């Protein structure tokens, strides 16, 4: 077989696997869409997509893979990369650590010993990271975030205005966290502006295809697999992937690392992206969540894939490990 036909056969094989998993988990209707952001409760709970993109730009998509949903917490990973790239590790580590907390993502809790937010994947850390977005005005800062998204997505991001408005109207817990950090000198005195930006970054619309492309860019050490553009610095992707593995799945992260073992980030919108360094990324979208805030079907799909195809990053026999 030629290289191209081998590649096509591999893609067709993986598409069949994703199709089978999709069919198998459609009947799984445990969990509920997030409702603490009222607008999120209005999504169609039965939507279900699996998508994958390889580091050389091959793609697979089954189910509702082109249906748009809000990125939510997955944005935290991208903004973390932006902050590291803009300010460097030391500056970022002064404000946000890297230790998993075991607390819920919206806990009003800081690292008191070091006077910083615990990690960039809980809301405190994510808000402190958003505070680090540079710009004299809100518009400049929105532009910085927008152009970051544009590089990952290959097109201008769209914001779900209803979700954004809904988060702003009800995000008082995030306000409490932010003002606590202001009082401790962790973030600057522009709290409402930073929160606005944070709510906007969470309300960006993506599809499962987009999400897999974002993940594949990170898995490809920062180079977009389709446009070939460098989106984020190579050394920064190492830190992004590490934090994804240790803190990416809310307080389920430890079990996830043990059982699934794929650096991943989930969001309360129902998305999960898992990144296999050097190989590619898989995205699942299904808005019914478990008590941790992770997509129920998403968890099952990743468990199956990791188990059956040795995708755990520490699997000694993993066939997926890239050479790059
Ligand atoms: N915008 C959401 C919040 O701040 C993001 C949470 C999430 O996806 O975990 O509550």
DSSP assignment of 136-165 equals: SSHHHHHHHHHHHHHHHHSS--EE-HHHHH
14/78 Cα distance (integer angstroms): 27
Q: Are residues 87 and 195 in the same domain?
A: yes
Q: Are residues 246 and 158 in the same domain?
A: no
Average pLDDT over residues 230-238: 98
- Sequence-distant (≥ 6) Cβ neighbours of residue 125 within 8 angstroms: 76, 96, 97, 117, 118, 119
> Has residue 225 been placed in a domain?
yes
Give me the pLDDT at residue 322, please: 57
CA 125, chain centre distance (Å)? 14
154/216 Cα distance (integer angstroms): 13
Q: Are residues 44 and 99 in the same domain?
A: no
Name the domain count of the chain. 2
Whether residue 1 has pLDDT greater than 80: no
21/259 Cα distance (integer angstroms): 18
Residue 61 DSSP symbol: E
Q: What is the pTM of this model?
A: 0.96
190/287 Cα distance (integer angstroms): 33
Q: Are residues 117 and 196 in the same domain?
A: yes
Question: Which of 183, 202, 221 corresponds to the end of one domain?
Answer: 202
Q: Are residues 261 and 196 in the same domain?
A: no
> Has residue 20 been placed in a domain?
yes
Whether residue 324 has pLDDT greater than 90: no
CATH number of the domain encompassing residue 146? 3.40.710.10
Instruction: Look up 268 and say whether it is catalytic.
Output: yes
Q: Are residues 257 and 211 in the same domain?
A: yes
Q: Which residues line ligand 1 (CB under 6 A)?
A: 72-73, 105-106, 123, 167, 174, 202, 267-268, 293
Model confidence at 320, pLDDT cuts 50, 70, 90, reads: confident
Average pLDDT over residues 110-132: 97
Full residue range of the structural domain in which residue 104 is found: 75-202
Average pLDDT over residues 280-287: 98
Q: Are residues 86 and 55 in the same domain?
A: no
Catalytic residue among 250, 266, 296, 301: 250
């Amino acid at each position: 077989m030629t290289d191209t036909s081998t590649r096509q056969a591999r893609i067709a094989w993986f598409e069949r696997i994703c199709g089978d998993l999709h069919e198998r988990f459609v009947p799984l209707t445990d969990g509920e869409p997030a409702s603490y952001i009222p607008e999120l409760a209005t999504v169609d709970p039965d939507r279900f997509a699996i998508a994958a993109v390889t580091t050389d730009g091959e793609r697979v998509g089954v189910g509702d893979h082109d249906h748009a949903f809000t990125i939510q917490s997955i944005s935290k990973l991208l903004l973390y990369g932006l902050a590291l790239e803009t300010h460097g590790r030391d500056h970022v580590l002064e404000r946000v650590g890297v230790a998993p907390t075991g607390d819920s993502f919206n806990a009003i809790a800081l690292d008191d010993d070091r006077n910083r937010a615990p990690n960039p994947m809980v809301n405190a850390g994510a808000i402190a990271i958003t505070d680090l977005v540079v710009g004299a005005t809100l518009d400049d800062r929105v532009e910085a975030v927008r152009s970051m998204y544009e590089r990952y997505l290959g097109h201008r991001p769209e914001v779900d205005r209803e979700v954004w408005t809904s988060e702003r109207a009800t995000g008082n817990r995030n306000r409490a966290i932010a003002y606590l950090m202001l009082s401790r000198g962790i973030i600057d005195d522009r709290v409402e502006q930073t929160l606005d930006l944070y709510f906007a970054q969470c309300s960006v619309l993506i599809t499962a295809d987009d999400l897999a492309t974002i993940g594949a860019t990170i898995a490809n050490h920062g180079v977009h697999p389709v446009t070939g553009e460098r989106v984020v610095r190579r050394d920064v992707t190492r830190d992004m992937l590490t934090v994804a593995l240790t803190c990416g799945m809310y307080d389920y992260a430890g079990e996830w690392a043990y059982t699934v073992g794929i650096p991943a980030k989930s969001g309360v919108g129902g998305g999960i992206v898992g990144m296999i360094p050097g190989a590619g990324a898989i995205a699942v979208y299904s808005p019914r969540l478990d008590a941790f805030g992770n997509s129920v079907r998403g968890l099952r799909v990743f468990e199956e894939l990791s188990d059956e195809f040795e995708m755990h990053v520490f699997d000694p026999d993993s066939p997926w490990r890239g050479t790059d």
